[in-house]
Amino acid sequence: MSTSETRPPHEGPGDAAHTDAPAATTAPPRLLLAGDIGGTSSRIALAPLDGAILAEAEGPGANLRSSGTAALENITRTVQQVLEQGREQLGADGEILAVALGVSGAGPARAEEVRRGVAERLAGLGIAPERILVTDDLHTAFLSGGVGDDGLLVLAGTGAVAVRFEERQAVARRDGMGWLLGDIGSAVWLGRRTLEAVAADLDGRGPRTRLTEEVGAMLGLDLREGERPPSPTGDPRQDLIRALDEELPAEAPAALGRFARLPGMVAEDPVAREILDLAVSHVLETVQALDPGAALPVVLAGSVLTGPGPLGETVTTRLREAGRSFRTAPTGMPGALLLARERASRHRARR
């Protein structure tokens, strides 16, 4: 699917080649691409200028810091998929007037690198760089909340961050430091804390916890006794290390998020409860720090806060009790579509 190329009409016997009238041409459909690109998964949609989404494709995450070195190639493959779906539905190529992608990890630290990499790859699909807007997934998530141009975003998905927006501009920020330095309350953080608690349990350095059985069940191991099935190494601690070496790619820490749901599944367990309580306290303290006067609406985003489970439920209950106005934004796609339509309008106005 190209931004400008139109296929020549088919000519056959009795067609325009045998008449004096010029062949009729049909303008290609004018379309938008919008993307909600997270660290664990991504979703890209194809839509007309005004109207419902025509096609969608899902792909792997594409955060340069947590999704591995193939992150930008993941975006390219997902865009190709949605363009192919659109071509099948429309029966023709379309003109991509604008692209807006909210990309996890495209904040100031690596924004230029992500923009340049995306533009280079999409140019190979016939999409001109000037039609592409790459922003971070925080802007698209915030706009998806529909609270206007001013407010707070609290996002906990693969990573975790909170931002205060004024006139759509990020003016204050907490966390979003990445899995090594922060991202407290994120899926990666929850998964990491879960595995640390299990390791401490097995090693006798920490309290016994039901998380050990839950992690063992996910890995197909009896981490408690090493009997069913028989321990591969003879030591459940070494079994855990070996299994995680196989399950967690060294260059993709986002895979730690696979274990994020486990504390919520055994929330009555004291160790699991402590992990959940710490995450909830962090969210509430962050909201208070960014808006001590409770004047701004809050947008909750990311799978940890908008999906089912005690963590998100506790956060929303506590915000309601504090009299805070809030909305949830399960996906950043509405915000990405808004930005794509705005960019297309500006592009058309210049023509």
pLDDT for the residue 311:
93
Question: Looking at residues 229-249, what average pLDDT do you find?
Answer: 88
Q: Is the pTM of this model over 0.85?
A: no
Q: Position of tokens 């486990």?
A: 262
pLDDT for the residue 2:
44
Instruction: Flag whether pLDDT at 17 surpasses 60.
Output: no
How do strand 95-103 and strand 30-37 relate by DSSP bridges? parallel
Question: Looking at residues 139-146, what average pLDDT do you find?
Answer: 95
Instruction: Flag whether pLDDT at 246 surpasses 80.
Output: yes
Q: How far apart are CA 164 and CA 161, in angstroms?
A: 10
Q: How far apart are CA 219 and CA 172, in angstroms?
A: 40
> Long-range contact list for 199-203, CB < 8 A, 24+ apart?
199/237, 199/240, 201/271, 202/236, 202/237, 202/240, 203/237
Question: Looking at residues 163-169, what average pLDDT do you find?
Answer: 95
Instruction: Flag whether pLDDT at 84 surpasses 80.
Output: yes
Query: Residues 346, 350, 351, CA angle at the centre, nearest 5°?
Result: 120
pLDDT for the residue 323:
92
pLDDT for the residue 69:
58
pLDDT for the residue 124:
86
DSSP assignment of 52-82: S--EEEEEE---TTTS-TTHHHHHHHHHHHH
pLDDT for the residue 162:
96
Q: How far apart are CA 269 and CA 267, in angstroms?
A: 5
170: confidence class by pLDDT, cuts 50, 70, 90: very high
pLDDT for the residue 19:
45
336: confidence class by pLDDT, cuts 50, 70, 90: very high
Question: Looking at residues 199-227, what average pLDDT do you find?
Answer: 94
68, 252 contact by CB (below 8 A)? yes
64, 36 contact by CB (below 8 A)? no
Question: Looking at residues 288-299, what average pLDDT do you find?
Answer: 95
69, 115 contact by CB (below 8 A)? no
